[in-house]
Amino acid sequence: MERRKKRAHMVGIISILFLAFVVTYGASPALTAEPIRIGFMAPMKGPLAKPGEDLLNGFKLFWKQNGLEVGGRTVKILYADSACNPDTAMTQARRLIHAEKVDLIIGGLCGHVGPALAQVSRETGVPVLVMPGADELTKWDIVPTFVRLSVSASQIGHPMGDYLYNVLGARNVTFIGQDYAWGHGLTLGAAKTFKEAGGKVAKILWTPIGTADYGPLLASIPTDTDWVVANVVGADRLRLFNAWFNFGYDRKYKIAGGYWLHSDALFQLDDKAVDLIAQCNIYSAGLDTPENKAFVKAFIKEYKTVPSWMAEAAYTMGLFVKETIEALNGKLDDKMAFVDTILKVKVNAPRGPVSLDKYHNPIQNVYISKVEKVNDPVLGEIMINVPIKTYKNVSQFWTWNPKDFLAGGPYKR
Amino acid sequence: MNWILQALNGFSLGALLFLLASGFTLTFGLLRVVSMAHGMYYLLGGYIGLSVVWFTGNFWLALLAGGSSIAILNYFVNRYLIRRTGENHLAQVLLTVGVVLILADIALTIWGGDSLSLPPPAFARGPIELPGNIFYPKYRFLLIVFGAIIGAVLWIFYRKTQIGAIVRAGVEDREMVNAMGINIDRLFTLVFALAAFLAGMSGVAGGAFLSLYPGAEWEILVLALVVVIVGGLGSLEGAMVGSVIVGLVDAYARWLLPEFSHFAVFAPMAVLLLFRPQGLFGKEA
Amino acid sequence: MVLRKWPLLFCAVAAALFAPLYLGPFWLSLLMQILIFGLLALSVELLLGHIGLFSVCQAAFFAVSAYTVAILQVKYGQPTIVAVPAGLGAAIILSLIYGIAVRTSGVYFILVTIALGHVFWGISWTWVSFTNGEGGITNVPAPAVGSLTITSHSSYYYIVLAVVALCVVGYRTLTRSPFGLTLRGIRESESRMRGLGYNIAAHKYTAFVLAGTLSGIAGLLYIYFNRFVSPANAEFFLSIEVALMVLVGGTGTILGPFIGSAIMLGLRNYVSAYIDQWMIVMGLIFIITMLWTPDGVLGVIRRLGVWGRTSHNQPGHRTPTPEEGK
C-alpha cells in the first residue's frame, strides 16, 4: 500500500517535470526571435593588451561589414575582459554563461586562459572557440565542445624546420625558444622536422617570457652555429631585435624569425629589419589574394594600422560563426550540433582556405614571410610582412599519421 | 671573454637599478614612506620621455621631461595621499598600489598596449667593437657611465654637503633635526622630489634598454625591492652595492642558467636575510 | 548586543545552508569564491590583526597546496586522500621555511614577504617541466573518497561551507586562547612581553606557520573548486588584493575578511563587465579604503552606531574591541 502511494507520487512528479519540459521546449521556437548571444573575451589590460585590442578590432570589423544578423536572428555580442588571468577568465566565462545566457564564447589568447576556458566548457557544455594556444587541447585533451580556430603551436613550428633545411640550407641551428607550453610547441616542432630532414640542432636557448635583457643570453650561442632561429613573444621580440644588432651578432650569425617580427612589432623597427625572415605563420598581411587585399584595405581604413595575425584570426572567427549559424538556420539549442556543424564548415578567409580536422584544429596554409618596405596609400611608407613561401593545407600533424604522432606524446622539454 | 661581457651586462643593469633604487631607499630612509608607485613612476617617466623623443628627437630633453613630470606628479600624490597615512606602512603600500592601478590604466589609454622602445641618442646607437672580437652596445656603456656619475653626485651630495648632512641627520633622528630649527618639511619635499625625478629619469634610460610596456612597472619594482633589501633600507651605499650585486647575479644567471634567471637574484637575498635581516648596510630593523 | 547577534547568526546560517536552492550557478560559484578567498584573507587577518605583521606572501601558501594537489592528482594519479594531506603538508613546510621572515619586522617584513612570495611565483612560472609554467595544470579530477565522487558545484559548496566554518571556529578558539592574547600583547608592546618572559620569536613564528596553514586550506578548497591552477594564483597582486579584502571588510573581526572578499570579488567580476576602466575603479577603492575608511565596512557600520561602540583606529594599530578583550 505504502509502496503504491510512493509510486503514485513518483509518477505525479515525473509527469509534472515532463509537462514543464514540454512547455519550455514547446515555447522555444518562439524564442528564436531572441538575439543570438555571443560572449567575446580578450585581454584588455596587462602585457597582452595590444593583441587583445587587435582581436577585438578584427572581430568588430567582421560584424560591421556583415551586419549583426545571421540565420534570421540578430546577434548580440557581450564583451568581457580576461585580464590575462585564468581566474578572471573562468569567472567571466561563468558569468557570461549563467548570467548573460550566451550561446557560445569566443576568447582566449594568453596561454593559460585557453585551458581555463576549456575547463568551463567542459563544466557547462557551452561551446568555446579559442584563438591560438598550446597543442594539448586539440590533441590529447580534447573537450567535445571546445574548438580552436586559429593555430596550435607546433602547426607553425613544423614547416619552419623544413624551410630551414631545404630552402635556407641551414645545417647547424641554434633556437631561441620561450619556456612555456606555446613556446615548446613552436620550437620543438621546428627542431623535430629540422632534425628529420638531416639538420643538427646546435643548442636550444630557453628563456622565460619577459626576459628583460637578451644581451647575456646571446653570448651562449655556440660559435659553430650557422643559423639562429628566434621564437619569442610579446615585449621580448623587440628586446631580442635590439640586443641582436647592438651586440653585433648580425655580423656573426644569420637569424631567421620562426615566430618573431609580427606586423604589430614592425612599426618600431628600423631599416635593419628589412629583408629579415620575420615569421612562419598562418597569416601575413602582404598576402596577395583578393580576400586578403579587401580585408587589409578595410582594416587600415577603419583602424589606421596594418592588421596583425591576431586581427585576422578574430575576423575569421566571425566568418566561421556566421557560416555555422547559417547552416543551422539560427538554431543554437543543441550545442553538440553546433560543434558538429562548425567542424564541417569551410571558409575562404583572408589568410586562405580554412577547414577543421576531427581533432578540432584548423587545416590551413602556412606562410614564411620576410619584412619589406612598401608604400601604403593611407599609412605612407610602412614595413609589412610578405610571404616568400607557402606551405599549403598544413595539418597540425604535419605529414605524419595522427595516430603515430599522438602516440609520441606532447612536445615537452 | 664572455665573463667580461657578462660583467658589463651586469653593470649596465645595475646602473639602471641604482637610478631607481636610490630614490626608493632615500625616500624610505628619510620619510619612512614605502611607495609601491616607484615602478609605475619608472614606466610613466619612460612613456613621457618617449613622447618627448617622438616630438623633439632629443634624448636629453626626454630625460629631463620624464624626471621632472614625475617629480611634479609625485608632489601631488605625496601631498594629498601618502602624507595622510602617517607612518602606517601597510596603508602606504595599499594606497600606492591603488595609485599604480589608476596610473597604469591611464598610461594604457594614452600609450596603448604595445611594447615601445625608446630610441637612444644618435651617437649611442649600435655597437662598439672591443679587442677580441667583442661587440658591445654603445648605449649600455653610456648607461654605466651615467649611473656612475649620478651615483657619485648623490654620494657627494649626501656625504659632503651641508644639506646632505642634514638629510643624514634626519635619517638618524628626525625629531632632533626638527628641534634644531631646521624646516624639515621643506627638506622632505626636496628629497621626495629628487627621488621621483630619479625614478622618472630611470624610466627614460630604461626605455631605451628594456623597452616600455604595460606590466613593466611590477617587473622593475620587484628588482628594485631586491636591491633595497640586499643593500639595506635607507642606505645610499647599500643601494649602490645592492644594484651592482643584483645586476651581476642577474647577468651571470641569464648566461649560465637561463631557465632560472627569473628568480636567481632571489636566492642570495634569502641567504642574506638569514644572517643579516637588515641588509648589508641597513640599520637594525 | 548578544540578543541582537543570535538571530542574525541564525539567519546567516540558514541562508548559507540553503544557498544552492535559490542561487543560480553563477552566483553560487561566486559565493564559493567569496568563502575561499575570505578564508585566505582570514590568514592575513591572523597576522595583521593579532600581531601587527602585514604578510604579502599568503598567495604562495595558497598556491603551493593547490599545486601539490594538482600535480599529485594529474601527473602522478594519486587519489584525493593522498593529495589533500600532501597539499596541506606542502603549505606547512613552505611556511616553516618562509618563517625566517619573522626575523624582520615593520616595513622590512612587508618587503621581505613580497620578495619571498615572488620567489614562489617564479618557481611556478619557470619550472615548466614540473609545474607546466604559465599554462598551469588543468583537468584536476573531482574530489573522491572511495567510491564517492563530488562532481556538482552545489554539493561541493557544502564541503567548502563546512571547512570554512570549521576553520572559523578554530580561528576563534585560537585567538581567544592564551596564545592569541599573547600575540596581541606582542602587537601592543614587544618589549613589555619580552620583559614578562615570553618568547617573542617563537610566538611570531608559530603565528606565521598557522597563517600559512590556513592559506593552504584555502588553496585546497580552491583547487577542487576551480580544477585548475596557474601561476596567477601565486601572484604578488593576489596577496595584495587579499590584504585589501581584510581592510575593506575591517580588521579585528572574523566577519571582516569575508565581507571584504565579497566586496572585492563582486566588484572585480562585475565592474569589469560594464566599465572598461575597471582598473581605475579598483585603484580608487584601494585609495578610498586607506584614506577614509581605515577600519573597513564593519568600522563604518560601527561608527554609524548600528553595532555599538565607535572606533577610529588605524589598521594594524588597533586596540582590541570589547568582545576580544574578554
Helices C58-70 and C80-98: crossing angle, nearest 10°?
Answer: 150
Residue A165, C-alpha cell as written in the block: 633545411
Residue-level pLDDT at C268: 78
Q: What does pLDDT average to over chain A?
A: 86
Residue-level pLDDT at C4: 65
Yes or no, beta carbons of C136 and A115 under 8 Å apart: yes
- Which amino acid would we find at residue A360? H
The verdict on A277 and A384 lying in the same domain is yes
Residue C10 has a CB neighbour count (10 Å cut-off) of: 10
Neighbors of chain B with 3 or more C-beta pairs under 8 Å: A, C
* ipTM of the modeled complex: 0.83
Residue B239, C-alpha cell as written in the block: 643601494
Q: Residues B90-116: pLDDT tens digits?
A: 888 889 999 999 999 999 989 988 888
Residue-level pLDDT at A87: 80
Would residue B234 be called left, alpha or beta, if left means φ above 0 and alpha means ψ between -120 and 50 degrees?
Answer: left
Examine the pLDDT at C314 and tell me if it is beyond 70: no
Examine the pLDDT at A153 and tell me if it is beyond 80: yes
Q: Indicate the residue of C33, C128, C138 with minimum beta-carbon distance to A118.
A: C138
Q: Residues C248-281: pLDDT tens digits?
A: 888 888 889 999 999 988 887 777 777 778 888 8
Residue-level pLDDT at A30: 42
Q: Residues C104-134: pLDDT tens digits?
A: 888 888 888 888 888 898 888 878 778 887 7
Separation CA B248–CA B91 (nearest Å): 34
CATH code for position A88: 3.40.50.2300
Examine the pLDDT at A207 and tell me if it is beyond 90: no
Separation CA A108–CA A112 (nearest Å): 8
The verdict on A168 and A187 lying in the same domain is yes
Total tally of structural domains belonging to chain C: 1
pLDDT tier for residue A12 given thresholds of 50, 70 and 90: low
Examine the pLDDT at A28 and tell me if it is beyond 50: no
Residue-level pLDDT at A314: 93
Q: Indicate the residue of B108, B250, B251 with minimum beta-carbon distance to A45.
A: B108
- Which amino acid would we find at residue A19? L
Q: Which stretch of A359-368, B181-190, C88-97 has the lowest confidence by average pLDDT? A: B181-190
Which parts of chain B have pLDDT scores under 50? 285
The verdict on A357 and A373 lying in the same domain is no
Residue-level pLDDT at A287: 93
Question: How many Å lie between the alpha carbon of B154 and the closest alpha carbon of chain A?
Answer: 27
Separation CA C227–CA C221 (nearest Å): 10
What is the fold of B2-275? ABC transporter involved in vitamin B12 uptake, BtuC (1.10.3470)
Q: Indicate the residue of A44, A91, A141 with minimum beta-carbon distance to C276.
A: A44
The verdict on A110 and A159 lying in the same domain is no
Chain C residues near residue A179 by CB distance under 8 angstroms: 126, 128, 133
Separation CA A7–CA A86 (nearest Å): 48
Q: In what order do the strands lie in the sheet with A73-81?
A: A69-70, A73-81, A36-42, A104-107, A128-130, A146-148
Handedness of CA B181, B186, B192, B198 (dihedral sign): negative
DSSP A108-128: --STTHHHHHHHHHHHH---E
The verdict on A119 and A40 lying in the same domain is yes
User: To probe the interface with A, which of C127, C230, C240 has the most A CB atoms within 10 Å?
Assistant: C230
The verdict on A236 and A264 lying in the same domain is yes
CATH code for position C32: 1.10.3470
Residue-level pLDDT at C42: 95
Examine the pLDDT at C3 and tell me if it is beyond 80: no
Separation CA A120–CA A136 (nearest Å): 16
Mean pLDDT of A46-72: 88
Chain B residues near residue A51 by CB distance under 8 angstroms: 113
Provide the 8-state DSSP code for C72.
I
Task: Please return the burial class of A374, using the count of CB atoms within 10 Å of its CB with bins 0-12, 13-18 and 19+.
Answer: middle
Angle at A253 between CA A250 and CA A258, to 5 degrees: 90
The verdict on A145 and A160 lying in the same domain is no
pLDDT tier for residue C310 given thresholds of 50, 70 and 90: very low
Chain A residues near residue C224 by CB distance under 8 angstroms: none
The verdict on A42 and A63 lying in the same domain is yes
Q: How many CA atoms lie within 13 A of B132 on its CB side?
A: 7
Question: How many Å lie between the alpha carbon of C256 and the closest alpha carbon of chain A?
Answer: 23
pLDDT tier for residue A215 given thresholds of 50, 70 and 90: confident
Examine the pLDDT at A157 and tell me if it is beyond 80: yes
Yes or no, beta carbons of B108 and A235 under 8 Å apart: no
Total tally of structural domains belonging to chain A: 3
User: To probe the interface with C, which of A48, A87, A113 has the most C CB atoms within 10 Å?
Assistant: A87
pLDDT tier for residue A7 given thresholds of 50, 70 and 90: low
The verdict on A116 and A250 lying in the same domain is no
> CB-based contact (8 Å) between A118 and chain C?
yes
Residue-level pLDDT at A150: 87
Residue-level pLDDT at A4: 55
Q: Indicate the residue of B32, B263, B273 with minimum beta-carbon distance to C122.
A: B263
The verdict on A119 and A233 lying in the same domain is no
Separation CA C218–CA C164 (nearest Å): 8
Residue-level pLDDT at A366: 95
> CB-based contact (8 Å) between A95 and chain C?
yes
pLDDT tier for residue C321 given thresholds of 50, 70 and 90: very low
Q: Residues A237-265: pLDDT tens digits?
A: 988 998 899 888 988 899 999 999 988 88
Question: How many Å lie between the alpha carbon of B148 and the closest alpha carbon of chain C?
Answer: 26
> Does residue A408 sit within a domain?
no
Structural domain boundaries, residue A86: 36-151+291-301+308-361
Separation CA A220–CA B257 (nearest Å): 10
Examine the pLDDT at C92 and tell me if it is beyond 90: yes
Separation CA C314–CA B86 (nearest Å): 10
> CB-based contact (8 Å) between B237 and chain A?
no
> Does residue A119 sit within a domain?
yes
> Does residue A410 sit within a domain?
no
pLDDT tier for residue A9 given thresholds of 50, 70 and 90: low
> Does residue A242 sit within a domain?
yes
User: To probe the interface with B, which of C96, C279, C284, C317 has the most B CB atoms within 10 Å?
Assistant: C279
Neighbors of chain A with 3 or more C-beta pairs under 8 Å: B, C
Q: Which residue has the higher pLDDT, C39 or A90?
A: C39
Q: Which stretch of A4-8, A204-208, C151-155 has the lowest confidence by average pLDDT? A: A4-8
**β partners of residue A369:** A279, A387
Mean pLDDT of C27-38: 91
Structural domain boundaries, residue C171: 2-16+24-325
